[in-house]
Structure 1
Amino acid sequence: MPFRSPERLLRKLPRWFPSLRGRHAGIVHAPLMNEARMQELRDHAEALPWSLIDFQRLASCPRVGDAPSVFRGQGMEFEENRTYQPGDELRLLNWRLYARTGEMYTRVLQEERRPRVFLLADRRASMRFGTRRQLKATLAAGIASCHAWQARQQALPLGGMILEQSHRWFDPGVGEVALEHLLEGLNSPCEPLALDAIRISLEEALQLLIQRLPHGCFLLMISDFRDLDPHSAAPLLQQLVQRHSIRAIQVLDPVEQRLPHGGDLLFDDPSATVPIRLPARDQAMRQDYADLFSARQAALTDCLTGCGIPLQVCTTTDSVEDSLDVLRSVNDAG
């Protein structure tokens, strides 16, 4: 079945080659990373001399902690002076200001709360793809896990939402049980899925985050953002940015960015009776595809950065450790 539309190819590309499916049929039921690799990444994350988690918004979480919050009350950080009102505690009176002005003022303090770390991890069909080193979902799981381990190290409540054919919500918690449940979900086996399988869209996930997350969370979004429409998603992202500190990490495979040279490529397509045959030796086809990808990538970048969310791009050729190093340089530049 010949393939002549670069746009259709870009839409359907992230799927397993039949040859890869047969070669790796025995490991699709295994976790994405073995215990040794998980321990290696945990040691690396906990030994980093810098934090992956950066709060830039006031928290409204109920748990008392040491981060600035939207609440005023019994904290330690001075917020403002206001005119004395009957019933104010005498210990909060600003006597120095009274000595200068002769008027009574009460010091208003800002309460401190323990903000939450929340991970939005995409494990839908297009993330279960990879032609180099690892699946996109594997790299995403490693990066998300490192954030989770640092959150636990800093005693921050940790929660998450994992997108698959539907979504799995993990309520934030501070214990080992909450951490282990989330890590198990991130690292669970990734069997191939049809791209047209019933699933939750990324925009639906953003709407759930708006509804359920308290203000001031650190939100990591890690996905290929394949189905994110920049125009319809921008209002949702803007609402999230006003409430939370957000980091976006996009995971891609090199084949998604630019088609390889060589002979024909075969792609499995559930909507077709035979595999799609792509004439990869066709230079015009490869160039059209690369141009289309660049245009879509530019639209995504403009959308996220326009909402105040910097975008970091990782590929399946990168290790988790290298991706974290790039993340640090992005943070330093910001």
Structure 2
Amino acid sequence: MIDLIPPDLRAALPDLRLAPRRPAVAGGIGQHHSRSRGEGLEFSQYRAYEPGDELRRIDWKLYARSDRYFVREAERDSPLTLWLLVDASASMGQADAARPDRSRLDAARALAAACIAVALRQGDRFGLAIAGDGRLDLVPAADGPRQRDRCHLALHALHARGGWPEDAALRPLWERVAAGDLLLLLGDHFDEAGVAVAERLAAARREVSSIQILTGEERDFPFRGGHRFRDVEGGAEVLTDAASARSGFLAEFAAARTALAARLAAAGIAHATCFIDEPLDAPLRRLFGLRGRGGE
């Protein structure tokens, strides 16, 4: 199976940490220390070695002094549940002419897989929700390598089709995504329904972050001569002279992005932009990057 995470994005994973911005809610989910023991950064106690413990966790210096095996334990952060809501509507199939090998959906796949890798490293639970072709498909949240493989299979099978599902089809999100969970929306945000569901989840005390995935052509409008633009979801077409339309398009597109960012900020949603011709780690660093290696 092809690796979903490009090498440059994988190299950035040690600098990323998934953690909510809001204070922890009741129930033990959030960025706070729990009394659970395991692997972590802050030493808690020693305990006697038991069959099945990893050998790398044995304190060999203590063994040399006592001739007994002891395992180091640490207090760890309470586990988080991460949900990845991926837009798989038809517009996500768009790519740049200069980079036809990477569509918006390809970028969303890579970003989702990178977040899954970080969640797996942290020992967190993670689930996948795919919105497209008028339906919502779910991989319920769980943890571990098998869960990663289930999510990867679902991501590999994705095709950009149709539009966002109706509200009734989105009901499983409300049943599965609990208060205090972290949800990351990955999409172009051109569907009002997608932005609205992110706002509603944030209002219901879900921790919501957002990455808008755009093409370089939308950023630069590099077209020349007569050009036909087609809405892949609605089917409408516009034939125009690219040179005369360029300044107006760029102004309107910038205004739309500014309005979207303000709308999401008002809802308490952390937001970043991903251009598919730029390094994919940039939006993840903005949302989840550490201030320094080993620090928060």
TM-score normalized by the length of structure 1: 0.61
Q: Alpha-carbon deviation of 1:260?
A: 2.2
Q: Distance in 1 between matches of 2:246 and 2:15?
A: 43
Q: Distance in 2 between matches of 1:144 and 1:175?
A: 16
1:320 aligns with 2:280: yes
Match of 1:183 in 2: 152
Task: Return closer, same or farther for 1:243/1:170 CA change in 2, 3 Å cut-off.
Answer: same
More strand by share: 2
Q: Distance in 1 between matches of 2:249 and 2:10?
A: 40
Task: Return closer, same or farther for 1:180/1:127 CA change in 2, 3 Å cut-off.
Answer: same
Q: Distance in 2 between matches of 1:267 and 1:292?
A: 16
Match of 1:288 in 2: 248
Match of 1:103 in 2: none
Q: Distance in 2 between matches of 1:225 and 1:76?
A: 40
Q: Distance in 2 between matches of 1:327 and 1:142?
A: 16
Matched ranges for 1:234-245 at <5 A: 237=199, 239-241=201-203, 243-245=205-207
TM-align CA RMSD: 3.8
Match of 1:213 in 2: 177
Q: Which has the larger radius of gyration?
A: 1
In structure 1, runs of 5+ residues without a counterpart are: 1-30, 70-74, 78-111
Q: Alpha-carbon deviation of 1:291?
A: 2.6
Task: Return closer, same or farther for 1:330/1:237 CA change in 2, 3 Å cut-off.
Answer: farther
Match of 1:300 in 2: 260
> Which of 127, 134, 151 matches 2:119?
151
Task: Return closer, same or farther for 1:41/1:167 CA change in 2, 3 Å cut-off.
Answer: farther
Deviations 1:280-302 (A, max 9, x none): 13x2x222222322232222111
Q: Alpha-carbon deviation of 1:272?
A: 6.8
Q: Distance in 1 between matches of 2:8 and 2:170?
A: 28
Task: Return closer, same or farther for 1:189/1:211 CA change in 2, 3 Å cut-off.
Answer: closer
Task: Return closer, same or farther for 1:185/1:41 CA change in 2, 3 Å cut-off.
Answer: farther
Q: Distance in 2 between matches of 1:39 and 1:223?
A: 19
Q: Alpha-carbon deviation of 1:315?
A: 0.6
Q: Alpha-carbon deviation of 1:277?
A: 3.4
SS in 2 for 1:219: strand
1:128 aligns with 2:93: yes
Q: Distance in 1 between matches of 2:115 and 2:208?
A: 13
Q: Distance in 2 between matches of 1:223 and 1:299?
A: 17
Aligned residues: 248
SS in 2 for 1:243: coil
1:251 aligns with 2:213: yes
1:44 aligns with 2:6: no
1:233 aligns with 2:193: no
Task: Return closer, same or farther for 1:246/1:198 CA change in 2, 3 Å cut-off.
Answer: closer
Deviations 1:76-123 (A, max 9, x none): 59xxxxxxxxxxxxxxxxxxxxxxxxxxxxxxxxxx963311111112
Match of 2:239 in 1: 277
Match of 2:82 in 1: 117
Which shows bigger deviation, 318-327 or 177-186?
318-327
Task: Return closer, same or farther for 1:214/1:310 CA change in 2, 3 Å cut-off.
Answer: closer
Match of 1:139 in 2: 107
Q: Alpha-carbon deviation of 1:215?
A: 1.4
TM-score normalized by the length of structure 2: 0.68
Task: Return closer, same or farther for 1:158/1:176 CA change in 2, 3 Å cut-off.
Answer: same
In structure 2, runs of 5+ residues without a counterpart are: 37-76
Task: Return closer, same or farther for 1:68/1:126 CA change in 2, 3 Å cut-off.
Answer: same
Task: Return closer, same or farther for 1:161/1:269 CA change in 2, 3 Å cut-off.
Answer: closer
Q: Distance in 1 between matches of 2:29 and 2:84?
A: 20
Task: Return closer, same or farther for 1:41/1:184 CA change in 2, 3 Å cut-off.
Answer: farther
Structure with more relative contact order (C-alpha pairs < 8 Å, separation 6 or more):
1
What amino acid does structure 2 have at the position aligned with 1:58?
A
Match of 1:222 in 2: 186
Task: Return closer, same or farther for 1:261/1:272 CA change in 2, 3 Å cut-off.
Answer: closer
Match of 2:132 in 1: 164
Tell me if the contact between 2:111 and 2:280 (Cα under 8 Å) persists in the aligned partners: yes
Q: Alpha-carbon deviation of 1:244?
A: 2.5
Q: Alpha-carbon deviation of 1:54?
A: 3.4
